[in-house]
Amino acid sequence: MERACPVAQSPACTPASLFTTLLLSSLRHDGERQRDDVKDSPDAPKDFDFIVVGGGSAGCVVASRLSENPAWRVLLLEAGPEEPALTEVPAFNRLFLHTDVDWQFRTQASGWDPGQYVPRGRTLGGSSAINGMLYSRGHPEDYDSWERMGNPGWAYRDVLPFFKKSENNHDEVDADLHGRGGPLDVSHFPYRDENVPVVLEAMEQAGLPFNADHTGREQSGATLLQFTQRDGHRRSSNQAFIAPVRRKRPNLVVRPLSPVRRVLLDSNKRAVGVEYDGPHGPRVALARREVIVSAGALQSPQILMLSGIGPREHLEEAGIAPIHDLPAVGQNLKDHLTTMLTVNFTVTKTATERSDTLQQRLAAYARYLDGGHGPLSATGVRQVAAFFRTKQQDGTSGRRPLIHLEVIGQLMKRRGAAANCTAPGEDSVWYDQIRISPVLLHPRYSGQVRLNTTSPRSLPLLYLNISLDEDEERTWVEGFRVAASLNDTASFREAGIVLDAPPLPGCTAAPNSDAYWGCAGRRGAQTWGHLTGTCRMGPDAAASVVDAQLHVHGVDGLRVVDASVMPDLPSGNTNGPSIMVGEKGAELIRQAHWDNGMWTDATPRPQGHGSIIAFCPASCRTRG
Ligand SMILES: Cc1cc2nc3c(=O)[nH]c(=O)nc-3n(C[C@H](O)[C@H](O)[C@H](O)COP(=O)(O)OP(=O)(O)OC[C@H]3O[C@@H](n4cnc5c(N)ncnc54)[C@H](O)[C@@H]3O)c2cc1C
């Protein structure tokens, strides 16, 4: 996930900076997307029907869907800035890591994890603005198991309509399973990297049959992935759900650069508003109906805890007065497990377009600017993946896969114009190495999120607790072995793509042995950015945070709607599922305020600030 060079920070990156500036000036301009709603003066109205905290994958959906009703005033508060224009270039999907639109979390050492960087989007669009854009849903059995955990309404048959509702699929796909006409464009990239068919063929030769649609009836197999993009331009949740309606809906107020400090509760444990830092100072906004927390799996539990909702002992130890004891807040942090020490193949022939010369690079930029064509409109060989069940699963009844093979291009040799710096995206679209990571989709361990300080500005502490039992290690090693077996295929031989498995520092085992791959997994173990589960959905307030309606147990007028509510990981990337949670959450909210064809007004408007100040510091009483 690491970017090779900090673009626009050193003179060495000048060519990259030049190109990005050129592109930037040709793409839509950030300023155009701003509206008066950004101006958050103390006199601005502060009463809303709904307040959505966090404008990420799920939050943008919730705010967009709720504001479809012109009678409801909806406030969307996002901690980060407007989405930068360059996020739309697929090849630059790693450009924004380590920048100010990335929260740049670090984990605490725990289990096999010595401490590592964890990216998260900090901008309108959230992580969907900086992610790899891969569209996945996981397996139908994932959602059936959510229902079996005590969450009625979350089985596959129930969530499928919400996946379809969002989707505007442009490819030839089964209409029973895919949507057309939704706000979120999904399709294959328009540009096909030369090695895409080579890797797909190698996978088939290695026993992974081609599957035309891994989000269809069957997930397993080698596949050409679909992405949240249209004509070579990223479609973040912001681009899909907020940007098209933002100017048209006076009842939707979007405030970037407005981190929420906490949810305000009245003395009946009812959420009545939020306290936040606007660009022009501290503010309070009030919600007549509900507050919806959509700040993602790391910050939704942080906001709940800062609001006094969480494990009593931890809150007291952190110096927060507990208002509602909810032990599961911040627990059950789950993620897919990948590795930095991947199965690497050297591309020995010139099998991919290289940025060897300035002319080639300029040509690529020109092709992109002319309607989104060429290598910059895609993510190189990353368009291919495979999902499969392992031998460990033989004889078991479930069909969901345990391994995802992720394929990435990487530029190892710096040549020609690229010698100065690996420009944004070049490492994925002009590469001389193919890296395959076997991703473990259902590791059993779980971590936690804890408060670091009482300041909303300080990032919470993350413990991944990575560790596998012997069974899981065997499964993972099988993933490495299948990836390495591509070396024995005619497809790779003919294309001159050769396994490169050198001795690994700290691993004594013979290269390409099971022990060698086991060591690569253990030493390279890292997050895949699919953090979920910290406000887990379930029926029991002792073991979960929200119920199947996404209400926080024991608190009125407060829901969590984002990846944090997932009670278990889906068997695939989590952006599509987070957007589905947003769609379903918005519908649950809509139904709760809809009675006999009338919008209900059952929720009493809070009377001034009288009921809130019990939990509001003196400073907040004077705020606008
Ligand atoms: C680098 C990376 C690559 C990934 N690649 C893929 C991929 O290719 N495909 C895929 O399906 N998934 C991918 N994912 C995962 C996927 O993007 C996430 O699972 C999904 O976006 C989570 O959605 P969310 O709504 O829960 O949180 P987010 O989208 O992270 O949104 C949370 C939002 O809340 C805001 N926020 C936080 N605290 C506050 C506060 N106090 N006040 C106001 N706002 C706040 C944040 O700034 C953010 O905008 C990737 C993730 C990362 C980080």
pLDDT for the residue numbered 40: 66
- CATH number of the domain at 585, please: 3.50.50.60
The three-state secondary structure class of 476 is helix
Q: For residue 2, how far is its CA from the centre of ligand 1 (angstroms)?
A: 17
Is 179 part of a structural domain of the chain? yes
The domain boundary residue, chosen from 488, 503, 528: 528
Q: Relative to the CA of 297, which ligand 1 atom is closest?
A: 26
Interface TM-score (ipTM) > 0.90: yes
The three-state secondary structure class of 439 is strand
Q: Relative to the CA of 118, which ligand 1 atom is closest?
A: 53
**Ligand 1 near 121 CB (within 6 A):** yes
**Together in a domain, 354 and 487:** yes
pLDDT for the residue numbered 554: 98
Q: For residue 276, how far is its CA from the centre of ligand 1 (angstroms)?
A: 20
Is 114 part of a structural domain of the chain? no
**Ligand 1 near 55 CB (within 6 A):** yes
**Together in a domain, 251 and 346:** no
C-alpha span between 155 and 142 (Å, rounded):
8
Is 21 part of a structural domain of the chain? no
Any known ligand binding at 293? no
Is 350 part of a structural domain of the chain? yes
**Together in a domain, 54 and 180:** yes
**Together in a domain, 523 and 557:** no
Nearest CA to ligand 1 atom 12: 575
**Two tokens, residue 35:** 């509206």
**Together in a domain, 203 and 258:** no
Q: Which domain holds residue 405?
A: 191-224+336-413+423-449+463-528
**Ligand 1 near 75 CB (within 6 A):** no
Is 302 part of a structural domain of the chain? yes
pLDDT for the residue numbered 598: 53
**Together in a domain, 345 and 208:** yes
pLDDT for the residue numbered 147: 98
Q: Which residues of 148-182 are buried (b: 16+ CB within 10 A; e: fewer)?
A: ebbbeebbbebbbebbbbbbbbbeebeeebbbeeb
How many structural domains are present in the chain?
Answer: 2
**Together in a domain, 294 and 400:** no
pLDDT for the residue numbered 354: 56
Q: For residue 121, how far is its CA from the centre of ligand 1 (angstroms)?
A: 5
Side-chain-side CA neighbours of 358 within 13 Å: the count stands at: 5
- CATH number of the domain at 521, please: 3.30.560.10
Mean pLDDT per block of 10 residues along the chain (624 residues) reads 34 46 49 50 82 98 97 97 94 91 97 97 98 97 98 98 98 96 97 94 98 93 98 97 97 97 97 94 96 98 98 97 98 97 87 62 86 92 95 80 95 53 63 94 97 94 97 96 98 96 93 97 95 98 98 98 98 98 98 67 40 37 28
pLDDT for the residue numbered 394: 77
Q: For residue 473, how far is its CA from the centre of ligand 1 (angstroms)?
A: 29
**Ligand 1 near 572 CB (within 6 A):** no
**Ligand 1 near 126 CB (within 6 A):** yes
**Together in a domain, 511 and 523:** yes
**Together in a domain, 517 and 481:** yes
**Together in a domain, 220 and 243:** no
**Together in a domain, 160 and 66:** yes
Q: Which residues of 322-352 are buried (b: 16+ CB within 10 A; e: fewer)?
A: bbbbbbbbbbbbbbbbbbebbbbbebeeebb
Q: Relative to the CA of 531, which ligand 1 atom is closest?
A: 19
pLDDT for the residue numbered 23: 56
pTM recorded for the entire structure: 0.92
Q: For residue 171, how far is its CA from the centre of ligand 1 (angstroms)?
A: 26
**Ligand 1 near 128 CB (within 6 A):** yes
Strand partners, 210: 222
pLDDT for the residue numbered 398: 79
C-alpha span between 15 and 274 (Å, rounded):
45
Q: Which residues are catalytic?
A: 530
Q: Relative to the CA of 237, which ligand 1 atom is closest?
A: 29
Please report, to the nearest 10 degrees, the dihedral formed by the alpha carbons of residues 287, 314, 299, 135 taken in order. Answer: -120
**Ligand 1 near 585 CB (within 6 A):** no
Is 18 part of a structural domain of the chain? no
**Together in a domain, 349 and 405:** yes
Is 182 part of a structural domain of the chain? yes
Is 540 part of a structural domain of the chain? yes
pLDDT for the residue numbered 623: 28
